[in-house]
Amino acid sequence: MNFPWNELLVNGNWMITLAQIAAPFLVIGVVAAITYFKLWGYLYKEWFMSVDHKKIGLMYLICAVLMFVRGGIDAILLRIQLTVPDNPFLESNHYNEIFTTHGVIMIIFMAMPLVIGLMNIIIPLQIGARDVAFPLLNNISFWLFVAGMLLFNLSFIVGGSPAAGWTNYAPLAGEFSPGPGVNYYLIAIQISGIGTLATGINFFVTIIKLKTPSMTFMQMPMFVVTTFITMLIIILAFPALTIALALMTADRIFDTAFFTVANGGMPMLWANFFWVWGHPEVYILVLPAFGIYSEIIPTFARKRLFGHQSMVWATAGIAFLSFLVWVHHFYTMGNGALVNSFFSITTMLIAVPTGVKIFNWLFTLYKGRITFESPMLFSLAFIPNFTIGGVTGVMLAMASADFQYHNTYFLVAHFHYTIVAGVVFACFAAMIFWYPKAMGYKLFEKPNKWFFWIFMIGFNVTFLPQFILGLDGMPRRLYTYMPEDHWFLLNFISSIGAALMSIGFLVFVGNIIYSHIKAPREATGDNWDGLGRGLEWSTASAIPPKYNFAITPEWDDLDTFVEMKRQGRHYLDNHNYSDIHMPNNTHIGFWMGVLFFIGGFFLVFETLLPAILSLAGIFGLMIWRSFQEDHGYIIPASEVAETEARLRKARQKEREALNHE
C-alpha cells in the first residue's frame, strides 16, 4: 500500500494550521464528555441504532445546523476578504477553496439534511403512518449522509479542500486540479448522494403505501404532496449526478478520458450531466419549502388553504419543467440561438405555476384572522423576497441578456434570493413551527422575532447591493478588486449585512438553549393554541409514542382535524386497541457509514487496497443482514391502552387549563 503521506497535512494559511491544532482537541473533548457522562451506550442504542423516523429526523437537523455554522463561517471569511479593495486576508487559492466548500456545504450538507430532517419528523405523522416504509434503509441513508459530510469537512485540514467551485467544471476539476481536493468533492458527494437517492425511494413508497387508507392524493396536506413530488425528482435526477461523479472519479484515479479534451473527452458533458441534476436539485429544495409555507400560512391565517388542487397541479408543473431548463446555466458556452431560445422559453414558463402558488398564498391571507407568530413572519417575508429572486430569474432566463449577467454578482444575488428566501426562511419557520411537536415545548417568541428581523434585514442588506455590483460588472469568484473599480462601498454594505445575519442566527441558537432550560413543557400535541390543522397535531409532543398512532386515523377532507376539534372529537377517543408491530433498531447503518467513510478516505488519496477492503466489508454487512431473521417486536394492546390513557388525561388537563384562562 503506497499511501501519499506527503499530501496528508495542508501547509500554508494560519487558519488551516489553527484548525489542524484545534480539531484533535475538539474530538478529544467530545469523546471525554460523552465518556464522563456515560452516554456511549445511550447514544448508540437509542439514537445511532434507531430506526424511529422522528429520531433520525432530529439527527439530520442537528447535522444541518452544524453545517449551517460551518458554511456560515466560510461566508463570513469571503465577505471579510471582499470588504475592502486589495485585501491580503486570503490568497487566491484559499479563497477558491472557501467559496467551493461554502457552496457544497450549504446546498448538499446543510439545505438537503434540513429539508430531509423535517420530512422525517413530520411526513409519517401527517399521513397517519407508524414509520417509513423501509426503516432500516432510513437509518442507512442517514449514516451515508454523515459519512459524506464528515469526509468533505475533513478536507479542510487533511489533504486540502477542493477549489474548482461547487459546480466542479471540467477541465478545471481534472488535470488542472492535482491533489486530493477534487477527489474529496467527488467521493463525499457520491456517498451522500447514494443516501439521498435511497431516501427518495423510501419516502416515495411511504407516501403511496402507508398513508391512512381514507386519505386520497388530493386530500393530502401540501407538505406531503410537495414531498411526494420532490422524491420523484430525486429518483429521476440523482442518477445523473451519480454517473457524472463516477466518470470524473474514473478520470482522476484511473486515467480515463471522459472529460479530457486531449484524449477525446468532452468537458461540456460534465456541465450537462451536472445541471441535469443541478437545476432539479433547486426544486428538490424549494418544493418542500413551498409545502411548509402552505402549512404555516393557513394555520396563522385561520383559513383553509386557497386553491389546494391548483397548488398540487402547479407543483407537478414545476417538477416537470425543472428537467427542461438546465441549459440556461450555460447560455454563453456556444449552444446556438435555437437551443438557447428553447431553454429560455421553458425557463420563463416556470414562472407561471410559481405565480399560481404566490397568488394562492395571498388569497389564503385575504380576510383571514392573521396573527404574526414568528413562523408566520418568515412565511410572509418569503413572498416579496422570493419574488425578487423569481423576477431576476426571469431576467436571467433571457438568453441575450444573460450574456451581460452571466458569472457576475447579479447571478450570486439571484440564487441567494431564491435559496435563502425560498428554502432557509422556510426551514427556520418549520423548525420553530414544529419544534414543540419534536421537543415538547415552544421556543420563546420574543427572541424568535428578534432573530427574524435581524436575519431578514441582514439578508437584504447583504444581497441587494450585489445586484448592483453585478450590473456594474463585478465577476463572481473574484478574490480581490482594485480601488479604481469603485466596488468598495457596496461590498462594505454587503459585509455588514452578513454580520447581521450571523448575529440573528446566534440569537436563534441562544433561544434554543434558553428555551431548553426555561420553557414550560406541553403535554399534548396541538401546541399553537389549538390552531393545528393536520394529523401531526393530533399526536403527543416530545417525540410521540414509537407507534405514532394507536389506531388508524380517519381523513376525508383537508380540514378533518379542524372539524374534529369543532365537534369535540379526537382520534384518541377510540379505545379499540390492538397489538402493534414495530421494527427493531439495527447496527448495520452505523457500521456501513463507518466503512463508507474509511473506504472513501482512502479512495480520495487513490490508495485502492483499503478502499476495496472497505467495499468488501460493506457487501459483507449486506450478506450478514440477509441471514438475519429480524421480525421486529410487538407492543401489546395493554401497553398501548396505558399510553393512550396517559395522553388522554394530559390532553384533558391542558384543555381545562386553556378554558380556565
> What pLDDT sits at residue 378?
98
Cα–Cα distance measured from residue 523 to residue 530, given in angstroms and rounded to the nearest whole number? 13
Domain ranges of the chain: 5-520
Q: Is the pTM of this model over 0.95?
A: yes
**Secondary structure class of 367 (helix, strand, coil):** coil
Residue-wise burial string across 369-406, b where 16 or more C-beta atoms lie within 10 A, e elsewhere: ebeebbbbbbbbbbbebbebbbebbeebbbbeebeebb
Cα–Cα distance measured from residue 389 to residue 412, given in angstroms and rounded to the nearest whole number? 10
Neighbours of 593 (CB within 10 A): 25
> What pLDDT sits at residue 12?
66
- Domain 5-520: CATH architecture, name and number where available: Up-down Bundle (1.20)
Cα–Cα distance measured from residue 591 to residue 597, given in angstroms and rounded to the nearest whole number? 10
**Secondary structure class of 634 (helix, strand, coil):** strand
Cα–Cα distance measured from residue 279 to residue 291, given in angstroms and rounded to the nearest whole number? 19
Cα–Cα distance measured from residue 388 to residue 416, given in angstroms and rounded to the nearest whole number? 10
* DSSP structure class, residue 635: E
Ranges in the chain, pLDDT < 70: 1, 12, 523-524, 571-574, 654-661
> What pLDDT sits at residue 557?
87
Cα–Cα distance measured from residue 635 to residue 580, given in angstroms and rounded to the nearest whole number? 5
Cα–Cα distance measured from residue 68 to residue 328, given in angstroms and rounded to the nearest whole number? 28
Cell numbers for 389: 429572486
> What pLDDT sits at residue 85?
97
Q: Minimal CA–CA distance to 293: which of 422, 385, 418, 389?
A: 422
DSSP strand E in 546-585: where? Answer: 580-582
Q: Minimal CA–CA distance to 514: which of 609, 448, 577, 598?
A: 448
